[in-house]
Chains A and B, each alone.
Chain A
Amino acid sequence: MKVLVGVKRVLDPQVKARVKADGSAVDLTNAKMSMNPFDENAVEEAIRLKEAGQVDEIVTVSIGPEKAQETLRQSLAMGADRAIHVVTEQVLEPLAVAKVFQHLVAQEQPGLVLVGKQAIDDDCNQTGQMLAALLGWSQSTFTSELKVEGETATTLREIDGGLERISVRMPAVVTVDLRLNEPRYATLPNVMKAKKKPLQKLALEELGLDVAPRLTTLEVMEPEARAAGVLLESVEQLVEKLRNEARVI
């Protein structure tokens, strides 16, 4: 079975986003960028399935500017076999991303697509579900355990009240949560080897898809800042303040 894995280059999770002075977007100039953390779990899971003999080939996909290649090289260094870079300067909405993946699934014919449950930049949490819909495939979101058993897969999903186990018919789109696994670090020899692994570039325009945005961002704003707080001396003082000043207990 072949697995297709989506990897997105995003602002590093440890970096606090700052809004541009003109209110048009978040300023990413010279900011540290990383692979979306959930996508790292998706790559790791594909590698583990390959190590378990259930997968023969891992193809990672990223859509974005030239530098998205760095994210793809990282996935190759972790253990993916080859990568496809859909090159565009345009920021795509999840629906458009799902259409690009649908196109690539038709070409590559994978038996499973793995993506992170959410990208930590736009926080949309849509792409995997949308792709499953466009393909007419089953879906498992927020997955923290995945067992592929031939024609079906059993997954454990992290839901608000606890955990849910479902069985999905293969092929499926699985969106992954952090507890699915612990992603490996790429070792230096593997980083070197990854430079020689195949990385195919496709221009987004050549795919002939409707990726026009449906949403117009009118403004990007800083959230209201919280007023500075006070440091207290003791637990007793804290309880007193909560009772008599804040009046919340």
Chain B
Amino acid sequence: MSVLIIAEHDNQALAPATLNVVTAAQQIAGHADTTVDILVAGQTCDAVAQAAARIPGIARVRLVDDASQAQQLAENLAAQVVALAAEYSHILAPATTFGKNFLPRAAALLDVSQISDISAVVDGETFIRPIFAGNALAKVRSSDSCKLITVRTTKFEASAEEGGNAAVEPVTASEESGLSSFVGRQLSQSERPELTSARIVISGGRGMQDGANFQLLDAVADKLDAAVGASRAAVDAGYVPNDFQVGQTGKVVAPDLYIAVGISGAIQHLAGMKDSKVIVAINKDSEAPIFQVADYGLVEDLFEALPAMREALG
């Protein structure tokens, strides 16, 4: 019984989150003394399968190339996972909106209690996962024979991309469910690094006062090659779209440097960034809770601090 990873991809490229899941899967496979396979389910996604095959330490890439998997709708992808489950002791996906969408569906079909968002592997049955917005960590042991797990990608290093030479084996597609259909996708276009994998993130909160003021953050982000994020308060106020959101119910990030600007530091925001290596808080309110997690704090009006910072960065 080996470990199966469900690859996140867009039919053209493997999403970086998959590489973090590979590391978690290899830790599990080490405890269980077994091998790791990757499922690539999509349509005309051969390039993704080839990329998966080049990841070191992968035994097999299982490829489903079928119209039913073109958009990885939860109903069809869950059915595909269920069809393969008997061969595996563990099935892993990233705890992204991709993984969160279909894996619980597969778990219920298999009568398995999913283990969400693991942050560490203790052994083949035991895992650590954050609960209550990361204010507590639960060590849980699963008694299910097949374990379905989503992985907090920031807690596992990305595996190497090159060096492997796994066999790519075609798999028969499961039946189209006919329950849902894809209409369209509006993806945010940005020249900046992607929020969850950026080395530096600069986020704005309610203190930004207006969406237009995010330009001040952009100017600093340009100097640092940083991604731009936001607190839920800023998203709820309509300053920026929701895919900017860092927090318990938005994205979880753990960059080398996180700069929180005009963010008070609500529990749910801290949940999404407190694993960052270095945290900077810029806020004119010296009582803001964000200062309690910051390595460096600056009590200053952001409308003065941000232009000054851009200057200082040269």
Report which A residues bind B (CB closer than 8 A): 11, 13-19, 26, 38, 93-95, 98, 117-118, 120-134, 137-142, 144, 154, 157-169, 177-179, 213-223, 226-227, 229-232, 234-236, 238-239, 241-242, 246, 248-249
A154 touching B185 by the CB < 8 A rule? no
Query: Please, how many angstroms separate the alpha-carbon atoms of A95 and B116 in the complex?
Result: 12
B182 touching A166 by the CB < 8 A rule? yes
Query: Please, how many angstroms separate the alpha-carbon atoms of A95 and B200 in the complex?
Result: 38
Query: Please, how many angstroms separate the alpha-carbon atoms of A124 and B132 in the complex?
Result: 10
Q: Give residues 265-297 of B contacting A (CB, 8 Å).
A: 266-268, 274, 277-280, 286, 291, 293-297
Q: What is the distance, in angstroms, from B240's C-beta to the closest C-beta of chain A?
A: 12
B116 touching A123 by the CB < 8 A rule? yes
Query: Please, how many angstroms separate the alpha-carbon atoms of A130 and B112 in the complex?
Result: 10
Query: Please, how many angstroms separate the alpha-carbon atoms of A230 and B248 in the complex?
Result: 26
Interface of B is mostly: mixed
Counting chain B residues whose Cβ lies within 8 A of the other chain, the interface size class is 35 or more
Q: What is the distance, in angstroms, from A182's C-beta to the closest C-beta of chain B?
A: 9
Q: Give residues 102-116 of B contacting A (CB, 8 Å).
A: 102-109, 111-116
Picked from B112, B130, B224, the residue with its CB within 8 Å of the CB of A95 is B112
Query: Please, how many angstroms separate the alpha-carbon atoms of A14 and B232 in the complex?
Result: 14
A129 touching B104 by the CB < 8 A rule? yes
Query: Please, how many angstroms separate the alpha-carbon atoms of A139 and B98 in the complex?
Result: 14
Asked if B308 is at the interface (CB within 8 A of a chain A CB), the reply is: yes
With A138-B75, A167-B183 known to touch, is A235 a contact of B114 (CB < 8 Å)? no
A226 touching B274 by the CB < 8 A rule? yes
Q: Contacts of B104 on A, CB cut-off 8 Å? A: 94, 124-130, 133
A162 touching B241 by the CB < 8 A rule? yes
A-B contact count (CB 8 A): 263
B100 (CB) vs chain A CBs: closest residue: A125
With A94-B104, A129-B102, A165-B185 known to touch, is A214 a contact of B298 (CB < 8 Å)? no
With A124-B116, A213-B113, A246-B278 known to touch, is A235 a contact of B298 (CB < 8 Å)? yes
A249 (CB) vs chain B CBs: closest residue: B224
Picked from A131, A161, A179, A217, the residue with its CB within 8 Å of the CB of B139 is A217
B300 touching A235 by the CB < 8 A rule? yes
Q: Contacts of B291 on A, CB cut-off 8 Å? A: 229, 231
B97 touching A220 by the CB < 8 A rule? no
B144 touching A214 by the CB < 8 A rule? yes
A165 touching B184 by the CB < 8 A rule? yes
List 17 A-B residue pairs with CB atoms under 8 Å apart, sorted by A's residue number. Answer: A123-B117, A123-B130, A123-B248, A129-B103, A133-B109, A158-B97, A161-B188, A162-B185, A162-B241, A165-B185, A216-B140, A219-B138, A223-B134, A229-B294, A229-B297, A235-B300, A242-B257
Q: Give residues 130-171 of B contacting A (CB, 8 Å).
A: 130-144
Q: What is the distance, in angstroms, from B189's C-beta to the closest C-beta of chain A?
A: 9
Query: Please, how many angstroms separate the alpha-carbon atoms of A218 and B142 in the complex?
Result: 10
Asked if B206 is at the interface (CB within 8 A of a chain A CB), the reply is: no
Q: Contacts of B212 on A, CB cut-off 8 Å? A: none
Query: Please, how many angstroms separate the alpha-carbon atoms of A157 and B305 in the complex?
Result: 36
Query: Please, how many angstroms separate the alpha-carbon atoms of A120 and B308 in the complex?
Result: 38
With A229-B279, A238-B298, A241-B296 known to touch, is A214 a contact of B112 (CB < 8 Å)? yes
- 3 residue pairs, one from A and one from B, having the closest CB atoms: A17-B132, A130-B108, A214-B113
Q: What is the distance, in angstroms, from A98's C-beta to the closest C-beta of chain B?
A: 6
Q: Contacts of B115 on A, CB cut-off 8 Å? A: 215
B293 touching A226 by the CB < 8 A rule? yes
With A118-B249, A163-B185, A241-B296 known to touch, is A126 a contact of B116 (CB < 8 Å)? yes
A239 touching B309 by the CB < 8 A rule? yes
A218 touching B243 by the CB < 8 A rule? no
Q: Contacts of B135 on A, CB cut-off 8 Å? A: 16-18, 26, 223
A238 touching B180 by the CB < 8 A rule? no
Query: Please, how many angstroms separate the alpha-carbon atoms of A38 and B111 in the complex?
Result: 25
Q: What is the distance, in angstroms, from A164's C-beta to the closest C-beta of chain B?
A: 5
Max chain A Cβ within 10 angstroms of own Cβ: one of B101, B184, B196: B101
Max chain B Cβ within 10 angstroms of own Cβ: one of A16, A164, A230: A164
